[in-house]
Chains A and B, each alone.
Chain A
Amino acid sequence: MENTYYNPADLAKFGNISELQPEMGRKFFDYYGEVFKEGALTEREKSLIALAVAHAVQCPYCIDAYSTDCLQKGADENQMMEAVHVAAAIKGGSALVHGVQMMNKIKELTM
């Protein structure tokens, strides 16, 4: 076993997940490929969304992969950092909006 939970070299082995369940693996990667094709959104826009989500889910593999992918697709540094702020705003906002639930509970329990 590795000494750390995350090994950069493992990113290149992503495809190996199909070894233990080939059919589901194939379906996943086909779907994945389809999702990232140019459609109503450009490939660059999709890559920026993926970069933001990568930060939200705090996946180091995805951050590596989509920082590189955004550069390859011609995104600039400002766009990439703004995407990260979108993730941060939603993560922060999702914490804060629960403050309403807290306030509701406070109201319920206090005089």
Chain B
Amino acid sequence: MGSTVKSLKGQHHQLADSAFQLNVLQQSRRQGDEFPAFAERLREHGLYPLTPTGTTILQVNVGKMCNQTCRHCHVDAGPDRKEIMTRETMALCLQALQRAPQITTVDLTGGAPEMNPDFRWFVEEISAMGRHVIVRCNLTIILANKKYHDLPAFFKQHGVHVISSLPYFQASRTDAQRGEGVFEKSIKALQLLNEVGYGQEETGLLLDLVYNPSGAFLPGSQASLKAEFKRRLSSGYGIVFNDLFCITNLPISRYLDYLVQSGNYDSYMQKLVDAFNPAAAAGVMCRNTISVGWNGYLYDCDFNQMLDLKVAPKAMQHLRDFDVAALDARHIVLNQHCYGCTAGAGSSCGGETVK
């Protein structure tokens, strides 16, 4: 299931270096001219500098460790990544939440967040604070080891909102992106989640899926793909789910490597640039989200986190100095990868941003 594939970092690949990635993003096209600067596009539409609309979501990346090594992973996660959040840093998150009641949602991501040994403690603590907890579960983790088999029951017990990636309703494209055998295991895991009530009407247990293209193309209409996923997963496997979120792949880390290796980088960037939508730009998720890294540093989003672009104000770049009111006055850090969130109907961890 792809677990023998090494991360870019494990391969000592130059794209494991965030500065190198930023360099690639700044380069000119093969024809010599440059892609228009993202910040300039925002300026043209009166959106520069981009500022928060008010933070309501804390997205916490509890570590890069994962049982999968997906080809498009912007985190460069994998079994060979050992960077995970300590309980002390999680405690700083809890203190930050205590001081910021306006943050109503905590979105846990990774890697496979469940592989962090303090994951369950963290979920219990956040849940006890009455905050809405999202776990971005890769599905296969539920079957990866006996100790994870009870995750559906654990999620249910704490009313966790489960959001899981399933790039396609067939094995071919799912396995091409996420590793051999991932589709079959994902289907089994979805059935286990359904069995405890996830995705079923009237249980209140939310199971959403994330679709992101398995290749160098953009996602189509979310409503249309949702209808097709519902039809195929129901008729093929008896699976139900609540919502489907379309996420555009951003040109960083392993997806950037794929684009460069496959000769698709220029044309993909051009697609993103051509699909720039000011309405999507106004609704980007960095305007209501703060992203926390495994070591407690703060970012405008999980993508900026992987590019090591910390929040701009130097005095508040770590959880120790968390002050949501001050952070809400910051200017969001932008770069060329941001075109990924403003293409077409927009893209965020909650799918399309233009309703």
Contact = CB atoms under 8 A, between A and B. Distances in A.
Contacts of B98: none
Contacts of B168: 76
B181 interface: no
Centre residue among A71, A72, A74 by max chain B CB count within 10 A:
A74
Task: In the A-B complex, list the 7 residue pairs whose CB atoms are closest, starting with the nearest.
Answer: A73-B220, A72-B220, A74-B225, A71-B217, A74-B228, A72-B217, A68-B217
The bracket for how many chain A residues form the interface is 10 to 19
A43 B170 CA distance: 20
Contact of A72 (B170, B173, B218, B227): B218
6 contacts: A12-B274, A38-B221, A43-B224, A44-B224, A71-B215, A74-B228
A71 B228 contact: no
B213 interface: yes
Given A38-B221, A43-B221, 14 more contacts: A12-B274, A42-B224, A42-B227, A43-B224, A44-B220, A71-B217, A72-B217, A72-B218, A72-B219, A72-B220, A73-B225, A76-B168, A76-B173, A77-B172
A74 B224 contact: yes
Interface string B6-17: 000000000000
Contacts of B172: 76-77
Interface in B257-289: 274
Nearest to B223: A38
Contacts of A71: 213, 215, 217
Interface string A9-48: 0001000000000000000000000000010001110000
A44 B228 contact: yes
Interface in B196-228: 211, 213, 215, 217-221, 224-225, 227-228
B224 A73 contact: yes
A10 to B, nearest CB: 14
Interface of A: 12, 38, 42-44, 68, 71-74, 76-77
Interface string B220-252: 110011011100000000000000000000000
Interface SS, A side:
helix
Nearest to A67: B217
A54 B201 CA distance: 42
A44 B229 CA distance: 13
Contacts of B170: 76
Nearest to A42: B224
Contacts of B221: 38, 43, 73
A72 B228 contact: no
A38 B221 CA distance: 10
A48 B274 CA distance: 23
Centre residue among B215, B220, B221 by max chain A CB count within 10 A:
B220
A74 B173 CA distance: 11
Interface in B60-84: none
A81 B173 CA distance: 16
A72 B213 contact: yes
B219 A38 contact: no
Contacts of B228: 44, 74
A41 to B, nearest CB: 12
Contacts of A12: 274
A94 B162 CA distance: 53
B46 to A, nearest CB: 26
Contacts of B213: 71-72
A96 to B, nearest CB: 34
A77 B274 CA distance: 26
A61 B219 CA distance: 20
Contact of B224 (A38, A68, A76, A77): A38
A43 B228 CA distance: 11
A68 B228 CA distance: 18
Contacts of A38: 221, 224
B213 to A, nearest CB: 7
B242 to A, nearest CB: 18
Nearest to B214: A71
Interface in B297-355: none
